[in-house]
Structure 1
Amino acid sequence: MSAVICLLSSPAALSQQGSDPAAGQQAFNNACRTCHIMREGDNRLGPNLHKVVGRKAGSLSGYNYSSAMKEADFVWDEAKLDRFIASPDEVVPGHKMKPYGGLASKEERTKIVAFLAQSQ
């Protein structure tokens, strides 16, 4: 039994959990779509997240980011997105995503990050 638990908690298994496109879309819709969309060039209350993995934080033209996000010195990768979705205040203090305080569910974050990464 412990071998099964070990296998299910491995990084490869966690990535596979988030690889169902329908589940990822649903998790994104539930947690993010109020403010974000995946369509390139279509900024809403938040910037569009099309090809966010690999993009420098605060750099999408046509969106008015907070100064904190503009000054954030990193490129979005899957690990950084997961940390930001979990606790945005810890990753970029001063961001504009209030009142969003984070998503506690690792399973839902994994689905969302996989969904965002597939738009690359």
Structure 2
Amino acid sequence: MLKPVAAIAALAMIAACGGSGADEASPSAATATPATAPAPAPTVAETPAPAPAPVATAPGEPSPEFASLPAPYNTADYARGKRTFKLCQSCHLTAEGAGNLVGPNLHGLFGREAGSLPGFAYSDALKNADFIWEPHHLDEWLTNPRAYLPGNRMSFAGVRKAEDRDGLIAYLMLETGYTAPAADAPAEEAPQP
């Protein structure tokens, strides 16, 4: 009788600690005496530089990170976009090569044909969708995914507020490798006789 109780107590302790553990040392590792001498501290050349933090802006102020994006995303709020992405992150990743979760990886989303990411099992609705993911398509999708493309399997009600969608789309543009479409190149002139 004690063994099941002990197992349940151990599981409860593990669950209570929460988190992925990737950012925190486990208590036993932090308090254990090392068996060997500690590794030398990394040199300055070996220590990667931290990514620059987004510049803080007042609520409702345009974020400088978005200045190069097309309107209306160039005036969006980075903090709002990052906060709104928390609704998406349980199903989607944004890092290049990070793989898929319940939903496809969003890196390289903009400019990609809908339903075409290799290695992801899309619904027939998305496989047969005939559009390229651009900000305006994503805005309509995020408003109400089921109404925008009936038959898709995304179980998300949508993002109601336009400001939240603009911030989210701008955030995704930065986080997924968005590049502005190239301006139409001038047509080559026919050779003169």
TM-score interval, normalised by the smaller of the two chains: 0.7 to 0.9
Q: Residue type matched to 2:146 in 1?
A: D
Deviations 1:49-81 (A, max 9, x none): 011111100000010000110000000100000
Q: Tell which structure's C-alpha radius of gyration is larger.
A: 2
Deviations 1:80-112 (A, max 9, x none): 0000001111221111112x1211011110011
| Counterpart mapping for 1:41-120 below 5 A | 41=97, 42-98=99-155, 100-118=156-174, 119-120=177-178
- The structure 1 segments of at least 4 consecutive aligned residues displaced by more than 4 Å after TM superposition are none
| % identical equivalent positions | 40
- Could you say which structure has the higher helix fraction? 1
Q: Verify the 8 A CA contact 2:73 2:169 in the aligned structure 1.
A: no
Q: Verify the 8 A CA contact 1:27 1:108 in the aligned structure 2.
A: yes
Q: Verify the 8 A CA contact 2:146 2:154 in the aligned structure 1.
A: no
Give the structure 1 partner of residue 34 of structure 2. Answer: none
Q: Which runs of 5+ in 1 are unaligned?
A: 1-10
Give the structure 2 partner of residue 4 of structure 1. Answer: none
Distance 1:92 1:111 in 2: 22
Count of matched residue pairs: 106
State the Cα distance separating 1:19 from its structure 2 match.
5.3
Higher relative contact order (CA 8 A, sep 6+): 1
Distance 2:100 2:73 in 1: 28
State the Cα distance separating 1:24 from its structure 2 match.
2.1
| TM-score, length-scaled by structure 2 | 0.51
Distance 1:92 1:39 in 2: 26
